[in-house]
Amino acid sequence: MTAEDVYLRAVERMLRSIRSEHRATVLDDLRAHFADADDAGRSVEETVQALGTPEEIAARAREEFGRDDARAEWAWRVLQGTAVALALITGVVVAFIMPSYSSVSPEGPATTTIVERLGLAMALVALVPALVAAVPLVVPRRTRAATITISAVVLTAMALIGGFSLGGFFLPTVLLSWTALIVWVRLRGSGFGTGWRITGAAMTIAPTLLLLGSVGMGGAFDISAWAWPVLAVIVVLAVLIGLGIRAAGWLLAAIGLIGTVAGLISGGLLTLLVIWLGGWWLTIGLAHAVTAPRRS
């Protein structure tokens, strides 16, 4: 790879926040500059020095063409909206449907819900995370970054304070909220590159490898026969995410959502583990789907 190619790729990475047609215009203009400089006998280093750093090129391009905020807006709303919806579903199930852990008796499993045991007022507390997650969706745009951050911090604190009895169920909402903040900031800046995809692929496959490792070493987990095809699909999706295939993100998000909801309604001993794993895949899948570039 030549020095010119390295420079152009660096500029292209810095231009992810502007529209693709404007990005192509800037890159074509730079290539023309390099061609003219070569005809005039100037070196690549001299041309780069005259043009400026990739950061300077990107700053001038954003000033001239403006940011592609529509994409950042859509991606953020998908993630933040999903966080709100999931928090609402979780709150309703935990407060009004799922038997309370605190109601377990020596004679058998829990049979009463939070609303039956503590009343409606206490049950409604489980819906507060949905309200906190929804605040950034209704505040003025100029205060969005600060509001998203405050919302994510508050949700994290609530999950930690709630512990395993209640807060643990909202961990997927916390993950989605922080991811929404990262996506909002980065898409309005330099965007995401190969490192983002590779990290997403590694994070997708990591729980699967840990689970298989536990089974291989005689761990406590017993994987049902139907789960093996699901794990195989997860591995394939991780590879596709690493390659930047958007559809893989949507499919992984769907699997994660199904797993999260299944964990909520199952009420089994591994309920929280299933919810966390489903929320993990839901967050990674959505984050990839809304940030991966569309292929022409």
pLDDT in tens, 263-282: 888 766 578 888 999 999 99
Q: What are 67's two structure tokens?
A: 């940011």
Residues 280 and 170 sit within 8 Å (Cβ to Cβ):
no
Closest to 96 measured CA to CA, from 278, 265, 279: 265
The Cα 140–Cα 129 span in angstroms is: 20
Whether pLDDT at 27 is above 90: no
Residues 47 and 33 sit within 8 Å (Cβ to Cβ):
yes
Handedness of CA 182, 137, 163, 277 (dihedral sign): negative
What's the pLDDT at 58? 78
- Per the prediction, the chain carries an average pLDDT of 83
Whether pLDDT at 86 is above 70: yes
Give the DSSP letter string of 68-132: -HHHHHHHHHHHHHHHHHHHHHHHHIIIIISBPGGG-BTTBS---BHHHHH-HHHHGGGGHHHHH
Whether pLDDT at 30 is above 70: yes
Give the DSSP letter string of 117-172: HH-HHHHGGGGHHHHHHHHHHHS-GGGHHHHHHHHHHHHHHHHHHHGGGTGGGGHH
Whether pLDDT at 216 is above 70: no
The Cα 252–Cα 264 span in angstroms is: 18
Percent of the chain with pLDDT over 70: 85
Please state the rounded mean pLDDT for residues 230-250. Answer: 92
pTM of the predicted model as reported, rounded to 2 decimal places: 0.75
What's the pLDDT at 67? 64
CA distances from 93 to 86, 169, 246, 267 (A): 11, 10, 31, 10
Whether pLDDT at 3 is above 90: no
Residues 286 and 82 sit within 8 Å (Cβ to Cβ):
yes
In DSSP terms, 113 is beta-bridged to 99
Please state the rounded mean pLDDT for residues 125-131. Answer: 92
> Of residues 53 and 107, which shows the higher confidence score?
53
The Cα 4–Cα 10 span in angstroms is: 10
